[in-house]
Every structure is written in C-alpha cells, then in structure tokens.
Amino acid sequence: MSQRFQRPYPLEVRREAIRLAGARGRRYQDVAVEHGISGESLRKWIRQDELDTGERSDGLTSGERSRPSPSSPLTFAGASAIGTATSTASASGIRARSREARLGSRIEGERRRTSAASRL
C-alpha cells in the first residue's frame, strides 16, 4: 500500500499565502482554500513567520530550530566514551526502574484479584 506524501511547498508559495492571510479582512482558512493548502499548514507558517519577525516570543525562530540544542547528541561528539557510556547507562537504569515499577503494580493488582476470587 503506498502512502501519500506531500512535498514541501516552495518558499514563494508560503510567503505569498502568509502575505495574503495578513491582509485585513482575510481569514487564513479562506486563503488556504484558495491556494489548495491545508488550513493547519498555513496557520503553522503564519505562526513561524511571526516568531521569525519578532511579533511573537512564545517559540523558537527558524534559526534557533536549526541549531543543535545543548542536550543534543551532536554536542557530545568530543565527550569521552566513558562519560557517554555512563550517561547512557544511567538513562537506561531510569527507564528500567520505571518499567519495573509499572510492572510491579500490575503484578500486585493481579495478586489482589486472584486472592479476592479465591475467597469467593
């Protein structure tokens, strides 16, 4: 079964749609329909444009999105193998403990149900 994949819209199409949506009295949904674009896609483009131009400050600009974050594995390229292994092991340990806690509560619940059923 083939999946439908929409190629990214060209930058010129995005800019024109954003410009038209910013015109007074135009709803972004109407502009999206006119250009054959998803309303949600246009809404996200407008939001990102507002972040990039400084009209909004509740997210990352395009430039900030393209930079690796401090917690990104790319920033650990110079880290020693021991430090990387330790941090990976500790993260694995946290996941394992969480998994054990979840499984433990399930097993405990099964025991309670079994013992309650045997008393009947």
**pTM of the entire structure?**
0.52
Which among 50, 43, 33, 45 is positioned nearest to 8, based on CA atoms?
45
How confident is the model at residue 68, as a pLDDT?
Answer: 75
Tell the residue number behind the tokens 């430039």, with chain if given.
Answer: 63
Strand, coil or helix: what is 95?
A: helix
Distance between CA atoms of residues 8 and 30, nearest Å: 20
- For 7-20, how does the pLDDT look when each residue is reduced to its tens digit (9 = 90+)? 788 999 999 999 99
- Spell out the residues 6+ positions from residue 68 whose beta carbon is closer than 8 angstroms to its own: 74, 75
The rounded distance, in Å, linking the Cα atoms of 103 and 98 is 9
Confidence of residue 58 (pLDDT cuts 50, 70, 90): very high
| Confidence tier at 53 by pLDDT (50, 70, 90) | very high
Provide the CB-side half-sphere exposure for 107 (13 A, CA): 6
Q: Give the length of the chain.
A: 120
% of the chain at pLDDT higher than 90 = 38
CA 100/CA 92 separation, integer angstroms: 12
